[in-house]
């Protein structure tokens, strides 16, 4: 079978190997489509933390079951399944408390171990969710949307709130739509005018604000001085992460979804006076995946996936997906040709 491996930063190679063989409590899957995410882009560029090479990337996966044994979800051969790519230990304090998304021993397909850029893969059967009602395009974007769903659930968004989402990349766009589904009004914040236009036209956000100097004043004007009861950072940009509290109302929540490698600095009196709740949101749980699968018909999948190629053309196209001028929101790769 064919697979694509990132041998080292900046180098993909198309190779061939024997098909994998499943063991007890595992499933053999055919990979139909792979979504390309920021982790894949960073790994290829060589700036993904705690990453080793060579590595088969890919954790946003649309797949079909080839072989599986008895399982709790009643999944059988021929079923289409979404793969939850986080493999947790089930024994640590986080897992015991239901927070498998931040398991102390977590491994992620395509990050800590090989992922789905291959025609077939073997995975634990208990990380599969039946998805026969979804298209391959929809299945390939469930995982990034589940990250957004987890953030919205962490923030306990309620109808009528006005929330800000900083960063109009795939994760931020997902947060925007899922916050709207939860009943919130959304302010989209980004430097990229094209992304802001997408958020307005395709996601239907109520307000857009260009990031940078004057953003807080613009939000104050939009909200009659109240600011936003929840602010989500989906950029991972140090400047944006440090500016986030200035968009937030008194008594508000600041949710860090994007990840920055460095230290962050906040003025204590400024955040203390607002009694700010600072929370991080990492990965997603089964509950978040199920929620996304149930509401995915409300998401503009067709416009969200801006670029798609067969795996035979991925290597020659991948570099262009790193460039903002390409206009990529979500790129996907077809494996079942």
Mean pLDDT of the chain: 96
Residues 20-36: tens digit of each pLDDT: 999 999 999 999 999 99
Q: Is the pLDDT of residue 337 over 80?
A: no
Span between the terminal Cα atoms of the chain, in Å: 12
Please give the model's pTM, rounded to 2 decimal places. Answer: 0.96
Which of 23, 11, 20, 44 is closest to 323 using CA atoms? 44
User: What pLDDT was estimated at residue 325?
Assistant: 87
Q: Are 162 and 226 in contact (CB under 8 A)?
A: yes
User: What pLDDT was estimated at residue 32?
Assistant: 98
Q: What is the mean pLDDT of residues 47-54?
A: 84
The SS3 call for residue 44 is helix
Residues 260-314: tens digit of each pLDDT: 888 999 999 999 999 999 999 999 999 999 999 999 999 999 999 999 999 999 9
Residues 286-295: tens digit of each pLDDT: 999 999 999 9
Percent of the chain with pLDDT over 70: 100
Q: What is the mean pLDDT of residues 243-255?
A: 98
Domain 147-280 CATH (choose: 3.40.50.720, 3.40.250.10, 3.20.20.70, 3.40.640.10): 3.40.50.720
| Cα distance between residue 3 and residue 63, in whole Å | 15
Report the alpha-carbon angle 124-139-174, nearest 5.
110
| Cα distance between residue 253 and residue 78, in whole Å | 44
Q: Are 100 and 88 in contact (CB under 8 A)?
A: yes
Which of 172, 187, 144, 156 is closest to 37 using CA atoms? 144
| Cα distance between residue 83 and residue 81, in whole Å | 6
Q: Is the pLDDT of residue 9 over 90?
A: yes
User: What pLDDT was estimated at residue 3?
Assistant: 97
Task: Identify the band that residue 44 occupies on the pLDDT scale cut at 50, 70 and 90.
Answer: very high
Buried b (16+ CB within 10 A) or exposed e, 223-260: beeebbbbbbbbbbbeebbebbbbbbbeebbbbbbbeb
Q: What is the mean pLDDT of residues 111-128?
A: 96
User: What pLDDT was estimated at residue 261?
Assistant: 82
Q: What is the mean pLDDT of residues 216-220?
A: 98
Contacts of 2 by beta carbon, 8 Å cutoff, 6+ apart = 14, 15, 16, 118, 119, 311
Helix axes 286-295 and 142-154, enclosed angle (nearest 10): 110
Fold that domain 2-140+300-334 belongs to in CATH: Quinone Oxidoreductase; Chain A, domain 1 (3.90.180)
User: What pLDDT was estimated at residue 147?
Assistant: 98
Q: Is the pLDDT of residue 59 over 80?
A: yes
Q: Where in the chain is the domain with CATH 3.90.180.10?
A: 2-140+300-334
Q: Where in the chain is the domain with CATH 3.40.50.720?
A: 147-280
Q: Is the pLDDT of residue 228 over 90?
A: yes
User: What pLDDT was estimated at residue 336?
Assistant: 87
Task: Identify the band that residue 171 occupies on the pLDDT scale cut at 50, 70 and 90.
Answer: very high
Which of 16, 1, 115 is closest to 57 using CA atoms? 115
Q: What is the mean pLDDT of residues 82-99?
A: 97
Task: Identify the band that residue 48 occupies on the pLDDT scale cut at 50, 70 and 90.
Answer: confident
Q: Are 230 and 163 in contact (CB under 8 A)?
A: yes
Q: Is the pLDDT of residue 51 over 90?
A: no
- 44-48, 203-207, 221-225, 329-333: the lowest-pLDDT one: 44-48
Q: Is the pLDDT of residue 134 over 80?
A: yes
282 HSE (CA, 13 A, CB side): 13
């Amino acid at each position: 079978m064919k697979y694509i491996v990132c041998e080292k930063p900046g180098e993909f190679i198309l190779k061939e190997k024997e098909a994998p063989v499943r063991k007890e409590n595992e499933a053999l899957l055919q990979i139909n489509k792979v979504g390309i995410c920021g982790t894949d882009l960073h790994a290829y560029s060589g700036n993904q933390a705690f990453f080793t090479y060579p590595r088969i990337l890919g954790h946003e996966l649309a797949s079909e079951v080839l072989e599986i044994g008895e399982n709790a979800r009643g999944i059988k051969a021929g079923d289409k399944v979404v793969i939850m790519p986080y493999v947790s230990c089930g024994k640590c304090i986080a897992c015991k408390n239901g927070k498998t998304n931040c398991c102390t021993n977590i491994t992620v397909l395509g990050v800590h171990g090989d992922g789905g850029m291959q025609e077939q893969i073997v995975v634990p059967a208990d990380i599969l969710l039946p998805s026969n009602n979804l298209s391959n395009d929809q299945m390939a974007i469930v995982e990034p949307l589940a990250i957004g769903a987890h953030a919205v659930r962490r923030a306990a968004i309620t109808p009528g709130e006005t929330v800000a989402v900083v960063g109009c990349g795939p994760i931020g766009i997902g947060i925007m739509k899922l916050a709207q589904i939860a009943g919130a009004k959304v302010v989209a914040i980004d430097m990229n005018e094209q992304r802001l236009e997408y958020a307005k036209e395709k996601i239907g956000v109520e307000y857009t604000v260009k990031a940078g100097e004057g953003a807080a004043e613009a939000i104050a004007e939009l909200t009659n001085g109240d600011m936003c009861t929840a602010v989500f950072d989906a950029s991972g940009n140090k400047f944006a992460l440090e500016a986030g509290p200035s968009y937030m109302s008194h008594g508000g929540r600041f949710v860090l979804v994007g990840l920055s490698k460095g230290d962050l600095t906040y003025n204590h009196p400024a955040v203390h006076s607002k009694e700010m709740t600072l929370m991080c949101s990492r990965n997603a749980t089964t509950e978040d995946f199920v929620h996304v699968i149930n509401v995915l018909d409300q998401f503009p999948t067709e416009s969200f996936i801006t670029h798609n190629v067969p795996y035979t053309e991925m290597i020659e196209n991948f570099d262009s997906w790193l460039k903002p001028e390409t206009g990529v929101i979500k790129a996907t790769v077809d494996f079942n040709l």
